[in-house]
Amino acid sequence: MKLIENTEGLDIDIISGELDDNFSDLVFNTKKVVKDCLFVCIKGRNFDTHDAIDDIVKLGAKAVVVEKDIKRDDICVIKVDNTRAALARLSAAYFDHPSKKMKIIGITGTKGKTTSSHMLKKLLEQNAKVGLIGTNGITIGDMHRSTLNTTPESYELQKTFKECLDAGCEYVVMEVSSQAVMLKRIEGINFHIGIFTNISPDHIGPDEHKDFEEYLMYKSLFFKQCEKTIVNADDEHSEYVLKQSTSNEKYKFGKTGDFVINHINYISDKDFLGTSFCISCSDVIKDKYGIESVGDILVGIPGEFNVYNALSALSAAIICKVEPQVLQSALKDIKVNGRMEVAYSSHDIKIIIDYAHNAISTESLINTLRQYKPKRLVVVFGSGGNRSKDRRYSMGEICGKMADFSVVTADNSRYEKTEDIIADIVEKLSATGGKYITIPDRKEAIFYAIENSKPGDIIAIVGKGHEDYQEINGVRHHFLDREVVEECLEKMNEKN
């Protein structure tokens, strides 16, 4: 197939050989080289495929795309300014520009991307077929598979777009990480809507961003590719994001703006733990999209921050002309694996599973669940091995001060001993005077918390969330908190 000819926005320089623009395949992995393919050289964290051109030639590639000055007599060498950007644009052409034939909605932010994307999918799929790409994997209809990155590499991303298109999707909702922007994975994609949830210091370090300013810059660059921009007005950096955006339409959501939260209620019934609230819309939204307000919206995930996640999704759904009656009810039974997931709810107890694995997220979770006035708040948690000890110390201190009872157990111990990690946690927890028990086996710990629960308890099982494994001595063993909860409840029912 002709690739170069069909690739948009690609500026090339043939620095050796002659271009025969008829390739068998597009490849960027040295293990997947086939005869007559076009190979794109990428400088990765641990390996630079520019250094493997000898092997690439031997395996039969017809041409290589490079960003370094490399001249050879045995292969056509095509130079570009940035090979990651070139791979993204070539990949779009290779799959015949699938994103142009659907509406792509991207969500970025430090927190809330996963939950907001699931919520928006749920709202949109009342009227259309929707693909989903993000931290929890890729979902197209009944098909679900995991992905290594929040936003896949550009070739995999374009391949997924093609799968969505072939499956009849009208929309694709996707999480957009700052790494994806920095590494050009979304290069050349025109987003129908871009959503900014919030930003706080994160992903800063040798292999990520050098400082917060760079992190914010890459988050904001995303909005230069969006037709419409929606930002959280209550985030202090929202105005900066809006200034960077080149969108034709720019909107705000929050306590002020174009989509305003009103009348939040925290509901804890027998089979429901969540919120209800109303939205009032600005005159701009009323005139352009015909909706002035939406009342009595039910969201089946607890907490104010999930009201914000819901509002971001609802704002986009209004722009996509989803009917108000759908907006009111579609999120009542929403579940996002491992994100403030209500695993069980009854008159007696409620069980929450969440990915909180540091002091900030754990404190936020506890404060959120306090809004539902439990008789006791029981937290089951551990801390990952081979990570900063500050994390385990601070989690122990937070749970000791804020939980009514803690069950300290294993997380992903990796190459450390679980008992040593627990000892570090208890060192800080015990100093607070908080009540606790240590049970190294995570399954036993979850069973203990549920079997010894009291009427009115909320049990929060935190740290692993959606993860379906437990890593011990470098080996991942299948383990999913939700399955353990279900097993425990089933055994308790059999006894009764």
Instruction: List the binding residues.
Output: 30, 109-115, 149-151, 177, 185
Measure the CA–CA gap between 368 and 80, rounded to whole angstroms.
50
Token readout for 302 is 């607890």
β-partners of residue 226 are 191
Number of Cβ atoms within 10 Å of the Cβ of 415? 10
| Contacting residues for 364 by C-beta, under 8 A, at least 6 apart | 305, 356
User: To which residue do tokens 């926005």 refer?
Assistant: 9
Task: Report how far apart, in Å, the C-alpha atoms of 248 and of each of 127, 193, 226 are.
Answer: 25, 11, 8
**Binding-site residue positions for ATP:** 109-115
Measure the CA–CA gap between 331 and 341, rounded to whole angstroms.
13
Closest by CA to 120, choosing from 188, 190, 192, 182, is 192
- List the strands of the sheet with 226-232, edge to edge: 143-145, 137-140, 130-134, 171-175, 103-108, 191-196, 226-232, 249-254, 259-269, 272-281, 293-299
Measure the CA–CA gap between 174 and 194, rounded to whole angstroms.
10
CB distance 215 to 209 below 8 Å: yes
HSE-CB of 169 using CA atoms within 13 angstroms? 29
Number of Cβ atoms within 10 Å of the Cβ of 467? 18
